[in-house]
Amino acid sequence: MRVGFIGLGSQGGPMARRIAEGGFETTLWARRPASLEPYADTPAKTAATPAELGANSDLVCLCVVGDDDVREVLYGESGVLAGLAEGGIIAIHSTVHPDTCREIAEKSAAQGVSVIDAPVSGGGPAVEQGTLLVMVGGDEEVAQRCRPVFATYADPIVHLGPLGSGQNTKILNNLLFSANLGAAVSTLELGESLGIPRQKLVEVLNRGSATSKAVASISMFGGTLEGLAPIAGALLQKDVRHAASLAASAEAAEGAVFTAADAALEAMDHRR
C-alpha cells in the first residue's frame, strides 16, 4: 500500500516517519518546504500539491489541526480528492466533528474513495514507542486494510463502529481530560486556601490515588494551567465545543463533566 501523509506536526510528524521507516512507500506534503526537511533522512518522497500526493497514494492519512484544515487539503483543484484514484482511502487522524467525516465521505464516495475516521491519543512519545492509541470508525473491511499501516506506530487500534464513532470517542476522551484539568485546578486552589503549598499538593496528587494524566500535565508546569494553555487550550476548547454539539444533537444533558471542563477552559482563557 502506498501511503500519503499530510500534517507533520508534533503528533503527525513522528507517525509519518514510522510509516516511511516501516517499509511503506510514503509521500509527504506540507505547506512550508521547511516542514519537509526533517524527513530527508527517510525513504519518503515529497509532492508539490495534495493532489499530486493523492495520485501517488492508495491511503492518505491526515493529521492537520481542525475541520476546516481537513477540508482545505482535500477539496479543490489541488486537493487530495483531485488526485486520489477510485479505490483509494482517506484516514482522518485529526480530531474533528463526526459530521465533517460524514460530509467528506459523501463527497469521496462519488469518486469511489472510502473514508474512515481514526483520531489518535498519546502524543509523540507514544508514537516513538509504537503505542499510540487509534480510535477507528468506518467500514470494518476498509479499517482492516489500513491496520498494517497504523500498526507501524499504534497499539492498540480499536474499531468502534460506523463512520464517526472514532471521533465521538476521541471527543469524549478530550472532554473528560478537560474536566479532569478543571477538577484538579479547583482542588489545588482549595488546597491553597487551607494553607497547603500548590507545588507540594500537586506532587502528592500526582503520586496518590487521585492522580490522572491531567494532574501529571499540571505538575509539569508547577501546579497551574499557564504553561499548558498555549499548547492545548485552543484544541481543548474546540473539542469541548464539539462535545456540546454532540450532546445537543442527542438531546442529552451536559452534566457535571461540562461544568468541570468549562472551569479548565476559563482557567486557560479559552471559554466555550
Residues 212 and 113 both lie in one domain = no
Q: Give the DSSP H/E element, type plus range, for residue 157.
A: strand 154-161
State the average pLDDT over residues 184-203: 96
Asked if residue 242 and residue 176 are part of one domain, the reply reads yes
Give residue-wise pLDDT tens across range 85-100.
Answer: 999 999 999 999 999 9
Residues 76 and 172 in one domain: no
pLDDT of 130 reads 96
154 with 173, same domain: the answer is no
Residue 29 reports pLDDT greater than 90: yes
Residue 9 shares a structural domain with residue 138: yes
The count of structural domains within the chain is: 2
Q: Is the pLDDT of residue 205 over 90?
A: yes
Q: Are strands 120-121 and 132-137 parallel, antiparallel or unpaired?
A: antiparallel
Looking at every residue in the chain, the average pLDDT score rounds to 97
Q: Is 180 part of a structural domain of the chain?
A: yes
Whether residues 20 and 150 share a domain: the answer is: yes
- Please indicate, yes or no, whether residues 53 and 120 belong to a single structural domain of this protein: yes
Q: What is the pLDDT of residues 113-137, one digit of tens each?
A: 999 999 999 998 999 999 999 999 9
Which of 114, 136, 162 is where one domain is finished? Answer: 162
**Which residues does residue 61 pair with via DSSP β-bridges, in sequence order?**
5, 91
Identify whether residues 22 and 156 lie together within a single domain: yes
Q: What is the DSSP string of 22-67?
A: TT--EEEE-SSGGGGGGGTTSS-EE-SSHHHHHHT-SEEEE--SSH
Q: Which residue, of 134, 162, 190, is where some domain finishes?
A: 162
pLDDT at 222 over 90: no
Count CB atoms within 10 A of the CB of residue 210. Answer: 12
Q: 52, 83 in Cβ contact below 8 A?
A: yes
Verify that 260 and 135 share a domain, yes or no: no
Between CA 77 and CA 74 the distance in angstroms is 9
Radius of gyration from C-alpha coordinates of the chain = 20
CATH of the domain at 178: 1.10.1040.10
The overall pTM is greater than 0.85: yes
Integer Cα distance of 262 and 270 in angstroms: 9
H or E element at residue 76: none
Position 192 in a domain: yes
Over residues 133-172, the pLDDT tens digits come to 999 999 999 999 999 999 999 999 999 999 999 999 999 9
Mean per-residue pLDDT, 225-233: 92
Q: Is residue 272 part of a domain?
A: no
Domain-embedded: residue 84: yes
Comparing C-alpha atoms, which of 221, 232, 219, 215 is closest to residue 269? 232
Q: Residue 26: which CATH number?
A: 3.40.50.720
Based on the fold, state whether residues 202 and 134 are members of the same structural domain. no
Range of the domain at 219: 168-267
Residues 130 and 177 in one domain: no
Q: What angle do CA 271, 10, 137 make, to 5 degrees?
A: 75
Q: What is the pLDDT of residues 234-263, one digit of tens each?
A: 999 999 999 999 999 999 999 999 999 999
Q: Which of 162, 188, 209 is the last residue of a domain?
A: 162
Which residues participate in catalysis according to the annotation? 170
In this structure, is residue 263 part of a structural domain? Answer: yes
Alpha helices in the chain (DSSP H): 12-21, 50-55, 67-74, 80-83, 98-109, 123-129, 140-150, 165-193, 198-207, 213-219, 229-249, 256-267
Q: In this structure, are 127 and 31 located in the same domain?
A: yes
Q: Once rounded to an integer, what is the mean pLDDT over residues 68-79?
A: 98
